[in-house]
């Protein structure tokens, strides 16, 4: 099965009626993490402050995303699993190293939700810096969760090891009332060319080509950063990490494709979405910059799919491989097909 066909099918939301659980997704963005869970049959409800990200979530997922700015006093509906990507200011460049006492930090909100709901499973992701220079803060959060009674496992995982065509390192923390493990790496890596297919060679009047001055700017950037290999998108291997900055901004580090005639153009929204493993039927709200920002901030959905599978195994044992589960999934996919049948590939 080709990569795009695979994610278009496997990442379709459905309801597994054996799962009497609800997933609460905090700081949900456009729904990349929730999509991985809904693709395994989980019911979700989410909270996100950004208007366009919340609209994107509601366009594509079965669960509802509430547009709201969360606080430690927020009250949530009952949920058995709490997930999310809390924003973390205490160890940013402008942070003051205040840890859980920093009012700008999302982790006190995440921990308050866990304390309020006492879910069976908790899971969050964050940038790689949380495991290195700022490991002290990771320990604060983990210690708080352990005091709530959770067995915690965490590690730096790369989405490229979970069938995402992009090098994207993230700290993943998972906890449960009983021992739970992080997912094992997949045996297959996906190249950017496998994800983009014919899109990589296409261009039209709307394509954004690099000008001569931009080419010169990029050359100076790569020389200054001692870049040996040009940072164009190489179709024979996974992409570099996608960020809001290198997707939406005209920077020296911007993502771009070199065409056969030597010209270089910037990625389209759909191409960026594919490199993040979003299915082609997934529609983004907002203007181009807002869509790029949603993609750059998202948890790669197929990475989330592997994380959700591990949670499901914890809840259901090894039923993931049983024929009864496959039959249940097919019935639910058929039932929800009308939601997606009108959606076609949109090369934005």
**Residues forming the active site:** 88
Whole-angstrom distance, CA of residue 107 vs CA of residue 95: 14
List Cα–Cα distances, 337 to 23, 56, 178, 305, in angstroms. Answer: 22, 19, 36, 20
Whole-angstrom distance, CA of residue 46 vs CA of residue 31: 8
What angle separates helix 107-117 from helix 135-147, to the nearest 10 degrees? Answer: 10
Given a contact cutoff of 8 angstroms between Cβ atoms, the answer to whether 120 and 315 are in contact is yes
Whole-angstrom distance, CA of residue 245 vs CA of residue 140: 29
Token pair for 335 = 């039932």
Q: Which residues touch 161 (CB under 8 Å, ≥6 apart)? A: 185, 186, 189
Q: What angle do CA 152, 153, 154 make, to 5 degrees?
A: 125
Token pair for 163 = 């069938």
DSSP 175-190: EESS---PPPPPS---
Whole-angstrom distance, CA of residue 9 vs CA of residue 113: 33
Given a contact cutoff of 8 angstroms between Cβ atoms, the answer to whether 303 and 168 are in contact is yes
DSSP H/E element including 156: strand 151-158
Whole-angstrom distance, CA of residue 4 vs CA of residue 278: 9
Q: Give the phi and the psi of residue 53 in degrees, each rounded to 5.
A: -65, -40
Whole-angstrom distance, CA of residue 2 vs CA of residue 339: 23
Provide the 10 A C-beta neighbour count for residue 2. 10
């Amino acid at each position: 099965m080709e990569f795009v066909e695979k994610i278009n099918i496997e990442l379709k939301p459905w309801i597994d009626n054996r799962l009497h659980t609800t997933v609460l997704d905090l700081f949900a963005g456009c729904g990349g993490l929730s999509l991985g869970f809904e693709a395994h049959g989980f019911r979700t409800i989410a909270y996100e402050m950004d208007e366009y990200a919340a609209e994107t979530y509601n366009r594509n997922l079965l669960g509802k995303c509430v547009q709201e700015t969360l606080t430690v006093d927020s009250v949530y509906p009952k949920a058995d699993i709490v997930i999310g990507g809390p924003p973390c200011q205490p160890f940013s460049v402008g942070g003051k190293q205040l840890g859980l006492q920093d009012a700008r930090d999302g982790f006190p909100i995440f921990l308050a939700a866990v304390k309020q709901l006492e879910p069976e499973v908790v899971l969050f992701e964050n940038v790689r810096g949380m495991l290195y220079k700022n490991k002290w803060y990771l320990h604060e959060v983990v210690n708080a969760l352990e005091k709530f009674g959770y067995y915690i496992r965490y590690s730096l995982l790369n989405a490229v090891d979970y069938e995402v065509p992009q090098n994207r390192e993230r700290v993943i923390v998972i906890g449960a009332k009983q021992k739970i493990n992080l997912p094992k790496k997949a045996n297959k890596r996906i190249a950017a060319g496998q994800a983009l297919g014919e899109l990589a060679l296409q261009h039209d009047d709307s394509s954004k080509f690099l000008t001569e001055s931009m080419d010169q700017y990029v050359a100076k950037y790569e020389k200054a950063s001692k870049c040996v290999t040009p940072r164009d998108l190489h179709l024979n291997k996974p992409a570099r990490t996608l960020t809001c900055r290198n997707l939406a901004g005209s920077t020296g580090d911007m993502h771009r494709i070199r065409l056969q005639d030597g010209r270089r153009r910037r990625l389209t929204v759909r191409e960026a979405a594919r490199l993040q493993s979003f299915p082609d039927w997934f529609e983004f709200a907002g203007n181009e910059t807002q869509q790029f920002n949603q993609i750059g901030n998202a948890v790669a959905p197929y990475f989330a799919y592997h994380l959700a599978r591990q949670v499901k195994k914890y809840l259901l044992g090894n039923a993931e491989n049983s024929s009864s589960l496959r039959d249940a999934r097919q019935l639910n996919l058929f039932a929800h097909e009308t939601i997606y049948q009108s959606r076609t590939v949109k090369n934005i």
